[in-house]
Structure 1
Amino acid sequence: MIDTTVFQDKTAVYYTLGCKLNFSETSTIGKILREAGVRTARKGEHADICVVNTCSVTEMADKKCRQAIHRLVKQHPGAFVVVTGCYAQLKPGDVAKIEGVDVVLGAEQKKDLLQYLGDLKKHESGEAFTTATKDIRSFAPSCSRGDRTRFFLKVQDGCDYFCSYCTIPFARGRSRNGTVASMVEQAYQAAAEGGKEIVLTGVNIGDFGKTTGETFFDLVKALDEVEGIERYRISSIEPNLLTDEIIEFVARSHRFMPHFHIPLQSGCDEVLRLMRRRYDTALFASKVAKIKEVMPDAFIGVDVIVGTRGETEEFFEKAYEFISGLDVTQLHVFSYSERPGTQALKIEHVVTPEEKHQRSQKLLSLSDEKTKAFYLRHIGQEMPVLMEKAKSGALMHGFTPNYIRVEVDNDPSLDNRLVNVRLDEFHEEEMALRATIL
């Protein structure tokens, strides 16, 4: 038994880097600590516990993690510092050596955070507790709102794909998931807590069901029956796992929104082969075409990596031409970062930082054009928007079913409410549309 009396009236701060899955898991860690008697520290208050949930998708992510740890140690002198997440799993020894860090928890340990906190007395040096990647087996459930209107339901963890540039399988372990029944139960709980929108998150969510003999489509159909949840959004899903039956079901569903996020990574088949991706550009284009056939107004976000080893100028231009021709809404552009231990390091052609930057800027400009054109097509239309709580004095915002960001004058009574609006002109920064409530 854990003696929770030591946690009574203690305060904590949480800092999360990286993906939506990390934010969901941090929220769950916060819930565990709250139930043990720990409250979230107020702004300007020195915390007793600092929890940092790290990312390691790029070298820059590692650097940001170190900076965040140093900053929190300085801001909260004497606090018990816990570091978890992907960087902690991949480089536990390095993290444990950072001044002020007490405990480093790997992927298998973070769900049992309380048992590693002891009496909250500072350690002379950091201690690391991790499990070898091959032995990471457990699935820690998480369905959390945090400070947002939307809930994030973790449906899957880990990845079996081992793309040549990626360390995620080493940081997260093999693909695993909870049951459909357990996901439905968590969705009902979110509805009971007032949740109206749930985002399905994971590392490779289309792979859901591998450990339970079910499928992602089974999950989608079951969640669609949950009363009280108005909206679901599917976060990033691999194109080879986004089946036509899923697309067609979303088109018929009143709860699953016409909003997809599909990683492409490169629009050049030669580079996709170097990346060891499990599809080609023809398959990707067919998925986009299928979505647009049954949901012409669907929002499609796409991940692209520029400057990977082997991406010659010719290959980049080929990728750019392919992406230009896709009927997608927005590009999430990442510059390739070398990760120790990955197979990509064996590829000879190296892209300079300057060229990576130029390619990134070119794709970001293309993304802006596509997003603006998508928004323009919808000006004047009437749509339901789920409003989100705004900071005092700020405009209130929310999203249409197809993920157009809209802004209205702040009205706290509208928080977490679905309201019908007419989409008006662009906001001055062209990042959202102003709207009139009907």
Structure 2
Amino acid sequence: MKPQKKVAFYTLGCKLNFSETSTISRNFEREGFTRVDFDEQADIYVINTCSVTDNADKRFKTIVKNALKKNDQAFLIAVGCYAQLKPEELANINGVDLVLGATEKFKVTDYINDLSKNDLGEIHSCEIEDADFYVGSYSIGDRTRAFLKVQDGCDYKCTYCTIPLARGISRSDTLENVLKNAKEISARGIKEIVLTGVNIGDYGKGEFGNKKHEHTFYELVQALDKVEGIKRLRISSIEPNLLKDETITFVSESNCFVPHFHIPLQSGSDKILKKMKRRYMSNLYVNRVNSIKKKMPNACIGVDVIVGFPGETEDLFLETYTFLNELDISYLHVFTYSERDHTEATHLEGVVPKNVRAKRSKMLRGLSVKKRRAFYESQLGNKLSVLFEGENKEGYIHGFTENYVKVKTPWNPELVNEIHEVELTEIDEEGCARFKWINRTQEKNVNLNDLI
């Protein structure tokens, strides 16, 4: 009997990529491969790439080198957004044997009859117009929460973004299949599902291969709330113009959906938002935040923001800083603008020097720390539920409350994938807090750091 071939996976980028990597890995397992960790020796290494920032591009080369150190004869496969956008560039990187684009990645096992190393990477990449069909995905096994893909692609034309070029048009899973996948996740004992996609608020478009909406995101949320066994449902990033009041109200009254929203802003300046071709102005964003906080005062609200976009003067940056500083939000994800090939923004005037971009990014990251601490302090005395995760990190176990406060306590394997009630009691200068268990007699130390 031949020994089973070993395959390892590495994922760059977003929650959507994680859901697709997990689906691809299950395809390998069905073909008789054994999955191992990426830091182990394997016969095949699959790297799911991202191309949102320059940093993700550069990291790919480092990951390839690390894989070859484990096994210099391993077969290396690149899939994902970077593989679709710049397949030749990846194919020319030493050690890369196969590059698969947006549609081919889900058929990866069809391309690996021969695992001999290639002098030059072989490319199978479609025209992005051909990426017009939907492949459902969800992640399991890596975490105590699952990422459930409900939508793919984007019809928006933001001037800085390559995602439509990498993933194609907006299209959705059928409601029936989303619910089937959610039930499969629930049957495995996973207690939290995070909904993911490129533009999940656009859910329903392309559900049956046509451009009209068969269902709305609101109808999706209503249906998922009825799936038995799932304790928590979390909405990942959703565009402010697509986050409707009816959805906010439903989440506030739901038994399963948690009070946590991540809403891209990108800039607090209307002038920059227009240059970005975003589909809202800053006043709509304020209305969304106020609507959430009115119905859910303890809700956590995360914000994406880009600094250094062409035309962002010092005054316009300070407009964004002031806007965010005065807004009742909980944390920021800060992205330093980087030029991406084939995007409209590369032709705009007013290029911001990279050292200025870095300075502004640092300022907003500092604001994020301040906002996060203020949000955590606002939760002191509240009774919250924590879902503990499965990884032993230097003797500690981490978990998140329903409103996304991160907690840390000494490792106890009995806590893994369990939800426990706690009361946050104190946060010190280092960001460490104490909590007391509800219905338990022992107090534990909790560290609320490392959320960024």
Pick the TM interval, shorter chain. Answer: over 0.9
Partner of 2:44: 49
The residue aligned with 1:211 is 206
- Once the 2 structures are TM-superposed, how far is the Cα of residue 175 of structure 1 from its aligned partner? 0.6
Find 2:122's aligned residue among 127, 135, 158.
127
Q: Which moved more, 1:378-387 or 1:368-377?
A: 378-387
Aligned to 2:286: 285
CA distance in 2, matches of 1:408, 1:98: 43
> CA separation in 2, counterparts of 1:310 and 1:147?
42
Partners of 1:12 and 1:41 within 8 A in 2: yes
What SS does structure 2 have at the residue aligned with 1:142?
coil
TM-score when normalising by structure 1: 0.95
Aligned match for 1:12, one of 2, 7, 16: 7
What's the CA shift string for 1:351-384, capped at 9, x where partnerless? 1111111111111111111110110111222211
Write out the 4+ residue segments of structure 1 that deviate beyond 4 Å after TM superposition. none
Alignment match, 1:437: 437
SS at match of 1:139: coil
Matching residue of 1:385: 386
2:38/2:67 contact within 8 Å kept: no
Say if 1:36 and 1:427 are closer, same or farther in 2 by CA, change over 3 A: farther
The aligned runs of 1:25-174 (5 Å cut-off) are 25-41=20-36, 45-174=40-169
Structure 1 position 42, deviation (Å) = 5.4
Structure 2 counterpart of 1:261: 262
CA drift at 1:267: 0.2
- Deviation string 1:261-309 (CA, Å, 9 cap, x unpaired) is 0000000000000000000000000000000010011000000000001
State the AA in 2 paired with 1:149: T
- The one-letter code sitting in structure 2 at the alignment partner of 1:426 is I
SS of the equivalent of 2:345 reads helix
Q: 2:176, 2:404 → 1: CA distance?
A: 28
The alpha-carbon deviation at position 340 of structure 1 amounts to 0.9
CA 1:429–1:20 in structure 2 vs 1: closer, same or farther (change >3 Å)?
Answer: farther
AA at the equivalent of 2:357 = K
Distance of 1:158 and 1:177 partners within structure 2? 9
Paired residue type of 2:226? E
Structure 2 residues not aligned, in runs of 5+: 208-213, 439-452
In structure 2, give the amino acid aligned to 1:277.
Answer: R
Partners of 1:160 and 1:132 lie apart in 2 by 16
- Show the counterpart of 1:412: 413
> Displacement of 1:69 after TM fit?
1.8
Contact 1:46 1:77 in 2 (8 A): no
- Say if 1:393 and 1:366 are closer, same or farther in 2 by CA, change over 3 A: closer
Is 1:408–1:436's contact at 8 Å kept on the other side of the alignment? Answer: no
Give the alignment partner of residue 18 of structure 2, picking from 23, 34, 39: 23
1:180 pairs, out of 143, 159, 175, with 175
Report the 3-state secondary structure (helix = DSSP H, G, I; strand = E; otherwise coil) of the residue aligned with 1:37: coil
CA distance in 2, matches of 1:218, 1:427: 43
Work out whether residues 408 and 435 of structure 1, in 8 Å CA contact, stay in contact via their aligned partners in 2. Answer: no
**Residue 306 in 1 paired to residue 298 in 2?**
no
* Equivalent pair of 1:158/1:172 in contact (CA under 8 Å): yes
> Secondary structure at 1:398's aligned position in 2?
strand
Q: 2:447 maps to which residue? A: none
Shift of 1:46: 1.9
- Tell me the distance in 1 between the aligned counterparts of 2:60 and 2:40: 22
Matching of residue 337 in structure 1 with residue 356 in structure 2: no
Q: 1:196 to 1:50 in 2, by over 3 A?
A: same
The CA RMSD measured in Å over matched residues stands at 1.6
Q: From the superposition, tell whether residues 11 and 429 of structure 1 become closer, same or farther in structure 2 (CA, over 3 Å).
A: farther
Alpha carbons of structure 1 residues 367 and 12: separation in structure 2 relative to 1, 3 Å: same
CA contact (8 A) 2:91 2:97 kept: yes
- Report the 3-state secondary structure (helix = DSSP H, G, I; strand = E; otherwise coil) of the residue aligned with 2:32: coil
Instruction: Give the deviation of 1:66 after TM superposition.
Output: 2.2
Compute the displacement of 1:389 (Å).
1.6
1:275 matched residue in structure 2: 276
Residue 429 of structure 1 deviates from its aligned partner by 4.2
Structure 2 equivalent of residue 201 of structure 1: 196
**1:113 counterpart letter in structure 2:** V
Q: Which amino acid aligns with 2:317?
A: F
The residue aligned with 1:403 is 404
Secondary structure of 1:278's match? coil
Provide closer, same or farther for how the CA distance between residues 185 and 275 of structure 1 changes in structure 2, counting only shifts above 3 A.
Answer: same
CA contact (8 A) 2:303 2:332 kept: yes
State the alpha-carbon separation in 1 of the partners of residues 371 and 393 from structure 2: 32
Q: In 1, are the aligned partners of 2:19 and 2:149 still within 8 Å (CA)?
A: yes
Distance 1:385 1:82 in 2: 38
Partner-residue secondary structure (3-state), 1:143: coil
Instruction: Report if the CA contact (8 A) 2:268-2:319 is conserved.
Output: yes
Matching residue's letter, 1:172: R
Deviations 1:164-185 (A, max 9, x none): 0111100111111111111011
3-state SS of 1:241 partner: coil
**1:23 CA drift (Å):** 1.2
**What is the SS of the residue equivalent to 1:399?**
strand
Q: Aligned equivalents of 2:37 and 2:153: distance in 1?
A: 34
SS at match of 1:239: coil
- Once the two structures are TM-superposed, the CA of residue 392 in structure 1 deviates from its matched residue by 6.6
Percent pairwise identity: 50
Partner of 1:352: 353
Instruction: Please name the residue that 2:450 is paired with.
Output: none
